[in-house]
Amino acid sequence: MANTQAMCTSFKGEILSGIHALGTTVIRAGTGADTLKAALYLASATVNASTTAYSATGEVSGSGYSAGGVTVTNATAPTTSGTTGYWTPSASFTYTSVTLTTAFDAVLVYNSTQSNKAISVHTFGSQTITAGTFTLTMPTSDATNALIRIA
């Protein structure tokens, strides 16, 4: 046998489930599942890895769209495969009967329960919607394709 330096794969999945609190105090309140949301951002906005929380600045606006975006369906627990922890929402993000005339090209996934803290930003080709529906379909939830992966 030999020892191998590694980050334990189970830890990667448990991070996504909020199992560990590595700081000096436990900041997290409550033990229930968090409510996540998905907000759309204009192509002219700046949301990226430095984004720490949801902000209405740069968010799309228009008929049928509620500030803050839509609630994410997260019925599937994070899991691991190989050495990767991963998670994918269990349903598409759907913005129904909206008119968004200014081009947008990003969605921010954030934690509405935990002070709107940011989770991830996903970009796509610029879109506008006129009296229609905008749908973001999730990738296959596996170690290669899942929406959020810790490899």
Partner 1 sequence: MIVTTTHGEMDDSLLEKREGGVDNDNESTVWVEYWLAGELVHRSAHVSLKRAAVSISKIGGFNG
Span of 25-33, 51-59, 72-80, 122-130 interacting with partner 1 by CB under 8 A: 122-130
**Residues 147 and 138 sit within 8 Å (Cβ to Cβ):** yes
Indicate the Cα dihedral angle 11, 54, 66, 39, nearest 10°: -50
98: tokens are 């909206």
Asked whether position 146 contacts partner 1 by CB under 8 A, the answer is yes
Site string for partner 1, 92-121 (x = CB under 8 A): -----x-x--------------------xx
Closest approach of partner 1 to the CB of residue 86, in Å:
8
**Residues 53 and 40 sit within 8 Å (Cβ to Cβ):** no
Based on CB atoms, which residue is closest to partner 1, 17 or 25?
A: 17
3-state secondary structure of 150: strand
Distance CA 129, CA 127 (A): 7
Sites for partner 1 among residues 24-83 (CB under 8 A): none
Asked whether position 91 contacts partner 1 by CB under 8 A, the answer is no
Distance CA 130, CA 19 (A): 43
Based on CB atoms, which residue is closest to partner 1, 8 or 21?
A: 8
Q: Would you tell me which residues interact with partner 1 (CB under 8 A)? A: 5-7, 12, 86, 97, 99, 120-125, 127-139, 145-151
